[in-house]
Chain A
Amino acid sequence: GAVVSQHPSWVICKSGTSVKIECRSLDFQATTMFWYRQFPKQSLMLMATSNEGSKATYEQGVEKDKFLINHASLTLSTLTVTSAHPEDSSFYICSASVSGSYHEQYFGPGTRLTVT
């Protein structure tokens, strides 16, 4: 149980385009979903926390107009990277929590974004 999927697993796009990444909790309802970014050989950086039906809470330094997060249902959250640039190339990982607690998060497999 507690499976989280992400789609796509890898996306290559041209600079200036927008890319949408989906995060789904497959067998449970997630009140809270988290979005992380991971640079090569580095740890995760929390980008934002989204609760179903409300606006996402962004971490300091994360541009909310560039990284649009929508959490329209208890099983789906989306991250849209708008007007992507090569420096946005990274590994984006979502996680989902049943209780909204940071203590128990179930991670998706990640999405590799390459912007050319």
Chain B
Amino acid sequence: SQQGEEDPQALSIQEGENATMNCSYKTSINNLQWYRQNSGRGFVHLILIRSNEREKHSGRLRVTLDTSKKSSSLLITASRAADTASYFCATSNAGNMLTFGGGTRLMVKP
């Protein structure tokens, strides 16, 4: 089974709104990363949050991590049409495996 599971699987919002995606995982991790994938193209690394961190910001992105609940959230503020993509969380554990979740497909309507 997959380590990371994103929720929701699909999200459609209007430009300017905030988008929140959640990721849950099962085992202990060293860090959790969020990636973006535009349709049919490669992955772009967005942000990495370590297991001893609770929140991290990068531009319009805010990531939280709750290790007690084994969950993370990615918030994109003031969304733009260009943010339309699939977003994946990936967890890295002590065995140094990077395991991806199923992704959230975000559609931002202009």
Residues of A within 8 A of B (CB): 6, 34, 41-44, 46, 91, 93, 95, 101-110, 112
- Contact A108:B98 (CB < 8 A) given known A41-B105, A103-B30, A103-B48: no
- Besides A44-B43, A110-B42, 8 new A-B residue pairs in contact (Cβ under 8 A), listed by A number: A42-B103, A44-B88, A46-B99, A101-B96, A102-B97, A103-B98, A104-B48, A107-B44
Interface of B: prevailing SS: strand
Which residues of B are found within 8 Å of A44, using beta-carbon distances?
43, 88, 100
CA distance A19 to B2 in the complex (A): 29
B residues 31-63 with Cβ under 8 Å of A?
Answer: 31, 33, 35, 40-45, 48
Which residues of B are found within 8 Å of A108, using beta-carbon distances?
42
For chain B, the count of residues having a C-beta within 8 Å of the partner chain is 23
Cross-interface CB contact of B101 among A43, A103, A110, A112, cutoff 8 Å: A43
